[in-house]
Amino acid sequence: MISRRQALRTAACGFGQLALAGQWSAGMESGIPDLAAGAHFRPRAKRMIFLFMQGGPSQVDTFDYKPRLALEDGKQFPFDDARTIANTGLRGSSQRVMKSPWKFKQYGQSGRWVSSLFPQMAAQVDDLCFVHSMQTEGVAHGPATLFLHCGATRDDRPSMGSWISYGLGSENQNLPAFVSIAPSEGNGGARNYGNSFLPARYQGTALGNAGAPASAATINNIANTRLTHAQQRAQFEFLQNLNREQIKKHAADMELDAVIRSYELAWKMQSEAPGVLDMSNESARTMAQYGIGEKATDDFGKKCLLARRMSEAGVRFVQVTYGDNSANPAWDQHNHIEKHAVHARAVDRPIAGLLQDLKQRGLLDETLVWWGGEFGRTPYAQGKGNGRDHNPQGFTVCLAGGGVRPGSAYGETDEFGHVAIRDKIHLHDLHATLLYLLGIDHERLTFQHAGRDFRLTDVHGRIIKGLLA
């Protein structure tokens, strides 16, 4: 015979997954300490959408125009190659410069350069802030992806979304604070939306997984068709009464606390989540805006539209992954760089549609949008092939809305687009700046674990004022 405590925990495993444990809630007191919900200072953005381009898009083929690549195409030059340095410690290895197969043009009143890979995003440049001087840690996908999400390459640390939900909670107590749409199972997997040593209720909610169709990005069994509302209410209240008795005896049990909160959130979600997930009431014009109904863009378009619906409904942090679960992530073209065109075609219209939709609804000013991968790619060919290797030394991300300077470009790489040389921004700095835009002081958002205070930016990070409007 199992104890009541064991029964609760066993039952909670399935229900907790359904309920998406890991959400700040204003529910019952549990004895687990909370950071007071709310910003440290006036936020410029209420919420955030992160469009993760898994595998590392090439900056010199997308948004960082470098004319010298065409002039020196095929010639050998010495470069400090990150992978060579990591493996051998040698600098100045000889590499073959490779030009971009795509043409660049200037767009908008701001005159920003964009390659022909992104004609739809190009039309939105006056709302975008291009950061050309990004630098990060990790040459391989696993460490770099963990660093992107968690601020550390190896240690088990909370993800950015978990830190944000810990600090701010959700705008809507009937929905999770942090949702990850179609996350990858590789290169960190669940750690990329995990809570680590933060209380379990701050874990991200995963909908679907990378490589699965958009239809899988949903919540199964969200509605109970077998019991009436009154019967469900009675069942819920009975379980919560048992839970209250348990929490009195085990006030510091974070797992039990998370289970109880998951029950509470699951009950609340039944009234609101089905409507958020149901996109059938969207107009034909909106669907077309996201590229829904067109073969190349339908899948990512639906995921981006779902992100908008969740953000609009009050989810604080939404991440949408464009990728798959293979050993070589989507944008990872070590050979045949021309395959970037397949991925760009899949995301270009949906991303542009998301920006337009947010703007038309008056949401862009209060929604921070972040586009980028875990690193960039080299401006030279990898080996004797026609692809590009990983490059953490100088790459591009894009920001929009939520207090960033529109129609701007910040920082610069060298004339080959290889290494950041002006106004360098480390990923710790970007994390600090994004938190600042949400009203969070990255040095004050801490949690004590293993005898010391931890934070997303560790002991690093500075706010980049040049990115702010």
| pLDDT tens per residue, range 182-205 | 999 999 999 999 999 999 889 999
The predicted model gives 389-418 an average pLDDT of: 98
Q: Residue 189 phi/psi, 5° resolution?
A: 50, -130
| pLDDT tens per residue, range 54-78 | 999 999 999 999 999 999 999 999 9
pLDDT at 348: 98
Per DSSP, helices labelled H in 227-383 are 229-249, 254-277, 284-289, 298-313, 340-360
Percentage above 70 pLDDT, the chain: 91
pLDDT at 40: 92
pLDDT at 463: 98
- Measure the N-to-C terminal CA separation of the chain; round to a whole number of Å: 63
| pLDDT tens per residue, range 293-347 | 999 999 999 999 999 999 999 999 999 999 987 767 999 999 999 999 999 999 9
Give me 399's structure tokens: 């920001």
Q: How confident is the model at residue 38 (pLDDT cuts 50, 70, 90)?
A: low
Task: Report the distance separating Cα 104 and Cα 107, nearest Å.
Answer: 10
Q: How confident is the model at residue 247 (pLDDT cuts 50, 70, 90)?
A: confident
What is the model's pTM? 0.89
Segment among 232-241, 279-288, 452-461 with least mean pLDDT: 232-241
| In the predicted structure, residue 372 carries a pLDDT above the cut 50 | yes
Nearest-10 crossing angle of helices 160-168, 427-437: 30
Distances, alpha carbon 338 to alpha carbons 139, 322, 373, in Å: 22, 18, 18
pLDDT at 159: 98
Beta strands in 186-271 (DSSP E): 205-207
Q: Residue 129 phi/psi, 5° resolution?
A: -120, 115
> Can you tell me which residue has the tokens 């008795």?
245
Task: Report the distance separating Cα 318 and Cα 311, nearest Å.
Answer: 7
Task: Report the distance separating Cα 257 and Cα 31, nearest Å.
Answer: 9
Instruction: Report the chain's mean pLDDT, rounded to a whole number.
Output: 89
Task: Please give the residue that has the higher pLDDT: either 239 or 114.
Answer: 114
Q: Quick one: how far is CA 65 from the chain centroid?
A: 25
pLDDT at 15: 37
